[in-house]
Amino acid sequence: MRTTDDSTRILRTAAWIWLGFLLAMALMDFALYTPQVQQLLGDGVRVQQLPNQPLPQTPGARVNLLPVYLFYSANGLTALFFLLLSYWEEFQTFVGKAFYPFMLVVISTAPILISALIVPRFPQGPLSNAEGMALRQLPVMFVALALVAWKYRFGYVVFFSLLATVFELGVIAINPFENRNITVYVFIAIIRTISFVAVGFFISTLVSRLREQRESLREANANLTHYASTLEQLTVSRERNRLARELHDTLAHSLTAISVSLETAKAYFDIELEQAREMIDVSLEATRKGVDETRRALKALRSSDLVDMGLRLAIKKAAESAASRFALDLELDLQDPMPSLSPDVEQAILRITQEAIENLTKHSRAKKFSIHLSSQGQTTLIIEDDGVGFDMRSREASGHFGLVGMRERAELSGGKLKIESDQGKGTRVVLTI
């Protein structure tokens, strides 16, 4: 099925306007030709006669309404034909680009031809003259004018106005009927042509501006679509990188440790069986820790606490949970309210906090720890514990405690991570973004 475009919709609207106008005019004409209205109009004419002139006594004559019936039948059938073509998609496909011009010819020539041939033969009445003919065709002609102005440039509007005038005067010239005054028809045609050109210019200007606005909106929409696509791709890329870091900080480290232990066990298997068994046990323990860390990382990836609670409350929840599970004293100093930070920065702060808390609960043997979070120009996160500490050079070089991953997170978010520790003196983690 062919998709209905704007041109087809406009033609359908024009068809319904045409039919509605014919109905209104038919009601008016048949009302004017009722005996009561004819008698009233006749009385009005007799009152205007000279006082000494006797009033004509015209008995109620029967009015011949055949031309009226013929006029509205021809117009109605043409309008219905026009409406049918506007809904006939197979015909539109068959005709192609000639469909719209063909419909313009139908809606512009039919009212002129039918009016010029039939209206002058209407029964005697107030609208059975040149003015009545113009009244019956002008509204439909204005619709045709609007169709031309909407589809084509102003030059075509002028051409249409002149051609309609020439066509109407030609039909009148070759159509003999009584009481024909060509001068009146020419005068009305000139006035109509001038009106058509003026109205057509207004419509053409309006349509041109609307099309410019539509084109601007189309370009803006295309730019927004491109921007949204680029942003989506960037978001996906960042999410992939974040996932890679999570897996690297957990799974990669664990698998590396397991691989080293198994290689060592393999070397000792034939030499020192007991030592090999011990290495296998170490590998099993590392496997369990790797599984736990991977689960923790996957849980952190969801970041439900950060989304639901915000950065401050998410840090508070993580710290209080660790303090409760490991019976640690906790000191919290979290600025409230916190300024608005980007999602990437908040994610980095929360993950570094979680990683630091995880390290101190597993390795520091601390009795208390503190977390300080503030933002004064730049955001500062400080995590301290009173644990046993560690040798920075040996630990960081071997990749323990996820220090490398923490530093990467800080750098990717535009921050800097500083870790201070020494054996027996606890650990201090400082993040500035």
pLDDT in tens, 80-100: 999 998 888 888 888 888 888
Per DSSP, the residues of 222-256 read HHHHHHHHHHHHHHHHHHHHHHHHHHIIIIIHHHH
Amino acid type, 309 = M
Is the pLDDT at 3 greater than 60? The verdict is: no
Mean pLDDT of 202-213: 83
- Per-residue confidence (pLDDT) for residue 396, from 0 to 100: 47
Q: Is the pLDDT of residue 421 over 60?
A: yes
User: Between the CA of residue 110 and those of 4, 102, 116, 189, 397, what are the distances in Å?
Assistant: 25, 12, 10, 16, 93
* Alpha carbons 155 and 298: distance in angstroms, whole number: 69
pLDDT digits (tens, 9 = 90+) for 391-420: 776 654 444 546 777 888 888 888 999 988
**Which residues have C-beta within 8 Å of that of residue 286, sequence separation ≥ 6?**
254, 257, 258, 261
Domain boundary among 137, 159, 180: 180
Q: Is 210 a member of any domain? A: no
Q: Are strands 378-385 and 416-421 parallel, antiparallel or unpaired?
A: unpaired
CB count in 10 Å sphere of residue 370:
16
> What is residue 15's predicted lDDT score, i.e. its pLDDT?
86
pLDDT of amino acid 92 = 85
- Give 54-58 contacts, CB < 8 A, sequence gap 24+: none
Is the pLDDT reported for residue 47 higher than 60?
no
Residue type at position 220 = A
Between 28-37, 211-220, 237-246, 296-305, the lowest mean confidence (pLDDT) is in 296-305
Distance between CA 397 and CA 314 in Å, rounded? 31
Model pLDDT for residues 222-264, shown as the tens digit of each residue: 788 777 777 777 776 676 666 666 666 666 666 776 777 777 7
pLDDT over 80 (residue 426): yes
Task: Please check the confidence at residue 54 and state whether its pLDDT lies above 60.
Answer: no
The proportion of the chain whose per-residue pLDDT surpasses 70, expressed as a percent, equals 79
43-52, 192-201, 261-270: which range is least confident on average? 43-52
Q: Does 126 fall in a domain?
A: yes
Q: What are phi and psi of 187, to 5 degrees?
A: -60, -45
Q: What is the pLDDT of residue 247?
A: 66
Question: What size, in residues, is the chain?
Answer: 433
Q: Is the pLDDT of residue 29 over 80?
A: no
251 domain-assigned: no
Give the burial class of 359: count Cβ atoms within 10 A of its Cβ; 0-12 exposed, 13-18 middle, 19 or more buried: buried
Residues spanned by the domain of 91: 6-47+62-180
> Considering Cα of 172, then 177, then 181, then 184, what sign does the dihedral take?
negative
Locate 252 and state its tokens: 């990669």
How confident is residue 373, by pLDDT bands cut at 50, 70 and 90?
very high
Task: Give the pLDDT of residue 212.
Answer: 83
Nearest in space to 107 (alpha carbons), one of 156, 141, 131? 141
Domain termination site, one of 180, 202, 233: 180
Rounded Cα distance between 280 and 266, Å, is 9
Reply yes or no: is the peptide bond before residue 337 cis, omega within 30 of 0. Answer: yes
Higher pLDDT, residue 101 or 228: 101
CA-CA-CA-CA dihedral for 373, 374, 377, 379, to nearest 10: 10
Q: Which helix (H) or strand (E) holds 195?
A: helix 182-247
pLDDT tens digits, 283-325: 777 777 777 777 666 665 554 567 667 888 889 988 998 888 8
Q: Is residue 236 part of a domain?
A: no
Q: What is the pLDDT of residues 103-131, one digit of tens each?
A: 888 888 888 888 888 877 777 766 666 77
Give the other-Cβ count within 10 Å of 41's Cβ. 14
| DSSP per position, 45-85 | HHHTS-TTSPPP----PPP--HHHHHHHHHHHHHHHHHHHH
| Residue 185 falls inside a structural domain | no
167 assigned to some structural domain? yes
The pair of structure tokens assigned to 234 is 């960037």
pTM beyond 0.85:
no
pLDDT value at residue 143: 85
Per the domain annotation, does 429 fall within a domain? Answer: yes
Query: What is the gyration radius of the CA atoms in the chain, in angstroms?
Result: 46
Which of the two residues, 238 and 370, has the higher pLDDT score?
370
Domains contained in the chain, number: 2
pLDDT for the residue 430: 93
Burial (0-12, 13-18, 19+ Cβ within 10 Å), 98: exposed
Last residue of a domain, one of 157, 180, 203: 180
* CATH classification of the domain holding 401: 3.30.565.10
CA 110/CA 148 separation, integer angstroms: 16
* Any domain includes 42: yes
Using CB atoms within 10 A of its CB, is residue 373 exposed (0-12), middle (13-18) or buried (19+)? Answer: buried
Residue 49 has pLDDT above 70, yes or no: no
More confident residue, 93 or 276: 93
Beta strand pairing call for 378-385 and 329-334: unpaired
More confident residue, 212 or 427: 427
